[in-house]
Amino acid sequence: MITGSLVALITPMKSNGDVDKQKLDELIEFHLEAGTHGIVAVGTTGESATLTYEEHSDVIRQVVDTVKGRVPVIAGTGANSTHEAIDLTQRAKDAGADACLLVTPYYNKPTQEGLFQHFKAIAEAVDIPQILYNVPGRTACDMSNETVLRLTEFENIVGIKDATGDLSRAKDLIASAPSEFAVYSGDDPTAVGLMLLGGKGNISVTANVAPKQVAQAAEAAIAGDEELAESLDAKVAVLHEKLFVESNPIPVKWACAELGLCDLGIRLPLTVLSAEHYDVVRDALAKAGITK
């Protein structure tokens, strides 16, 4: 089972929007040295929505090749078209990913039965561990716990990233799901709370700029050390808030550039962080002890 701090990795880009392969390699090494437990490539934070199929596959393959098995690599392969999600998932398997992260279909708003059939079709089509991803705030589609529990019957559906921020809902799911089914947080502000309830990890935006701190908090929370986990998390809590002053990944990509981890490249329709928020994010980095 994949556990711990799983960074929702940005896709570094040059000022013209091209994927920066050199910076991607450097980012991976930065995270491995800091103790990040796993890397999630080309998810929402990795701007999967604006990468071409070829770029999507190339980034996954590069991450796998650079990681060289040192930590698990989870590839974002969700789509609002079932056949596209199957194709992306197969590509990720072919590239050597350890697991795939599949967001609920966005925009077309399927029913709960439609969600079940969508994920069932992907699970049956591609033999790779699959993690469901529920983030209704971005997709306008909310997968119920009941639907998730139906999907646990498929051996290769191994977990869910819950980005609802609703800890009571997560608690109910953890209590009801098979013990081998992992519930991960996709909401940094409530991640430690979810892991203390039995969650297995945090797919984290904040980890892009504070990998060591987020990893240590995850380790403590999974071990059940509430006092230590909450203390560690409190030190970076300001980042959980301020890295969302504009739509993710706008602030975190700017913060990474501020730290010298990448250039300012980002793809339309997203734009570089508005100047009015520069000091807000800089102050958050300083308060979290990332910069002086």
pLDDT tens, position by position, 106-159: 999 999 999 999 999 999 999 999 999 999 999 999 999 999 999 999 999 999
Which residues are annotated as part of the binding site for pyruvate?
Answer: 45, 203
10 within 8 A of 45, measured Cβ to Cβ: yes
pLDDT on residue 146: 98
Q: Which fold would CATH assign to domain 4-225?
A: TIM Barrel (3.20.20)
pLDDT on residue 178: 97
Mean pLDDT, rounded, for 60-88? 97
Mean pLDDT, rounded, for 56-61? 97
Mean pLDDT, rounded, for 33-43? 98
Query: The tokens of 149 are what?
Result: 């529990």
Mean pLDDT, rounded, for 2-21? 97
pLDDT on residue 292: 72
Sequence spans of domains, the chain: 4-225
Mean pLDDT, rounded, for 50-55? 95
Q: Give the chain's radius of gyration (CA, Å).
A: 18
- Say which residue the tokens 């520069």 belong to: 278
Mean pLDDT, rounded, for 27-53? 97
Answer whether residue 42 shows pLDDT above 80: yes
Answer whether residue 82 shows pLDDT above 90: yes
Residues with active-site annotation = 133, 161
pLDDT digits (tens, 9 = 90+) for 71-80: 999 999 999 9
101 within 8 A of 74, measured Cβ to Cβ: yes
Helix ranges (DSSP H) in 143-225: 145-151, 167-176, 188-196, 211-222
Which residues are annotated as part of the binding site?
Answer: 45, 203
